[in-house]
Amino acid sequence: MMALVYTLLGAALVCAVLWLRHRQLSFSAQRTADYAGLTPIFDLREHLNGKMLCDGVVYGPTGRVAASFNGRFEILWDGDRAKMSEHFTYDSGTEQLRQWALVLGEDGSITATAPDVIGEGRGKCEGSAVQLNYRLRLPESGGGHVVDVTDWMYLAPNGHIVNRSQFRKYGLVVGELIATMRPVEVRSHA
């Protein structure tokens, strides 16, 4: 009987440690308040604006690179509203287009919609970071699954943006994305 009690106590302890790790020590534990007051200040209208280039990799559930990609973005702001066009080209030759509509609230809140986003994405911009959570329907070539996405973007001192995203299904991480975004350099011909 004592062996069963010790087994159950051990299992409960392991569950508690895993829960604590998930809530306090993992990617999911970040909050925008963690970045409040940090510089440089991430102003979406300034730093996520105009024509931009993107390079990144997608990791599968085993942690190995599943794909790499390049992207070209164009973001046009009208006050606190933006239209963001993304054009991705993957190492397989596959191309993907996404059109975002963004609304920035006075408190730094963000709402985002896109055709492959289910409902509305919600997030916040605070200090040097931006977080956005949404449900995304993957393309049929990716299985057509719906995944929960947590996007974090961090502003680097040189104005480039580092993006890290996790994709979850039933609470389990099924993929991750790491990318950098930077403005397209305008070259003058003198």
Closest CA to 45 of 86, 84, 77: 77
DSSP 187: P
What does the pLDDT read at residue 141? Answer: 75
DSSP 53: E
At residue 8, does pLDDT exceed 70? no
pLDDT given at position 140: 82
pLDDT value, residue 2? 75
Which string of b and e fits 98-110 if b means at least 16 CB within 10 Å? bebebebeeebeb
Q: How far apart are CA 53 and CA 72, in angstroms?
A: 5
Task: State the pLDDT confidence band at 121, using cuts at 50, 70 and 90.
Answer: very high
Token digits of residue 164: 């890290």
Find the mean pLDDT for residues 68-80.
Answer: 97
pTM of the model: 0.83
Q: Given this model, what pLDDT does residue 18 score?
A: 55
Segment 87-114, tens digit of pLDDT: 999 999 999 999 999 999 999 999 999 9
Q: Per-residue pLDDT for 168 more than 80? A: yes
Residues 6+ apart with CB under 8 A from 120: 111, 112, 113, 134
Q: Is the pLDDT of residue 11 over 70?
A: no
For the domain spanning 38-183, the CATH number is: 2.40.128.20
pLDDT confidence bin for 14, thresholds 50/70/90? low
User: Hey, how many other C-beta atoms are within 10 angstroms of the C-beta on 5?
Assistant: 9
Nearest to 129 by CA among 34, 49, 46, 61: 34
Higher pLDDT, 27 or 179: 179
The distance from CA 15 to its chain's CA centroid, rounded to whole angstroms, is 27
Q: What is the DSSP string of 57-88?
A: EEE-TTSSEEEEEEEEEEEEEETTEEEEEEEE
- Alpha-carbon span 115 to 137, nearest angstrom: 9
